[in-house]
Chains A and B, each alone.
Chain A
């Protein structure tokens, strides 16, 4: 019984690390990109429509790794495959 508890506890810590570090990276990336976008929008307002399209594209790319990590972490949270190896 302690083995199951240990696997579950370590899985919980792992989920926290995955989501936390992923969110840290994604938020910093979007923040830096957003600040550059605002600067260039202030400098050249006529380019804003084009830059906005590119910005959304980049936002999707930056979020990609984080959301993949989120999906993996949530999968471990609800249907932990590591628990079945104990059987």
Chain B
């Protein structure tokens, strides 16, 4: 693609294409592009998830009911915030939903925050350690949620959790019946006519939930990264360096809000969907 771009922005095109490329391993399981595995998203999300777990576990282990230390106060603040949100939306036994909401929120916040790291940092580290040539062939994208695979993984898991909740609350038969009678209620003959319509609408509604969750988070993070890359690439010369730093700083400050907001939205929507799956129409 970038080979044909012999225009003045050939360098910019190559810079952005290089930075958009995932660190990939060809598993050879499937031919072509489907067999590629984005090891950078997997490794970074694993490390961040373990970091969150270890942090909260170590604080909870040493928690005291006396005067809390600062770390414990902070963790308590986060847990209470999540609990309030879950309590507002979900009227039932919160003990299985609130930890899920806490995990989703904190993990997504950690993964999104990787977007604030400088874009050239992994490449710079590699060029320090292994030289300029190795850095040219080294691809790594440090934001796992800017990879559609990660966000789809999260939302498909949430989808299965939703189905689990719906089956647990209504039973297999009740769930099936609700799929067939949900928005349009009728009796007798009309019910048979409306059943396929209801089924189609319910299938669409159920499929839209994971897809929209994944695409919303992915779009926000990918767009954020791309704007960082564009500002860095377009304003990289000597004269435009100072405005470039200014623009990148402004976008970075705005992006801090987006990071927290998108994690919050993912969490709240998960809880609202669980509440909807349990209580039904």
User: How many A residues touch B, CB cutoff 8 Å?
Assistant: 22
Q: Which residue of B lies closest to A66 (CB)?
A: B219
Q: Which residue of A lies closest to B223 (CB)?
A: A71
The interface-forming segment of A27-35, A38-46, A72-80 is A72-80
In the complex, are the beta carbons of A60 and B17 less than 8 A apart? no
In the complex, are the beta carbons of A78 and B4 less than 8 A apart? no
Q: Does A17 belong to the interface (CB within 8 Å)?
A: no
B215-264: which residues lie under 8 A (CB-CB) from chain A? Answer: 215-216, 218-220, 222-223, 226-227, 229-230, 261-262, 264
In the complex, are the beta carbons of A79 and B220 less than 8 A apart? no
Determine the interface band of chain B, counting residues with CB < 8 A from chain A: 20 to 34
In the complex, are the beta carbons of B226 and A75 less than 8 A apart? yes
Q: Which residue of B lies closest to A80 (CB)?
A: B1
In the complex, are the beta carbons of A61 and B17 less than 8 A apart? no
Partner of A68, one of B5, B20, B215, B226: B215
Most chain A CB within 10 A, of B2, B20, B226, B268, is at B226
| Sample of 13 A–B contacts (CB below 8 Å) | A4-B4, A59-B261, A60-B216, A64-B212, A64-B219, A70-B219, A71-B222, A71-B223, A72-B219, A74-B226, A78-B16, A78-B17, A78-B226
Q: A64-B216, A68-B215, A75-B20 are in contact. List 6 more A-B contacts (CB 8 A).
A: A59-B261, A68-B216, A71-B220, A75-B222, A78-B12, A78-B13
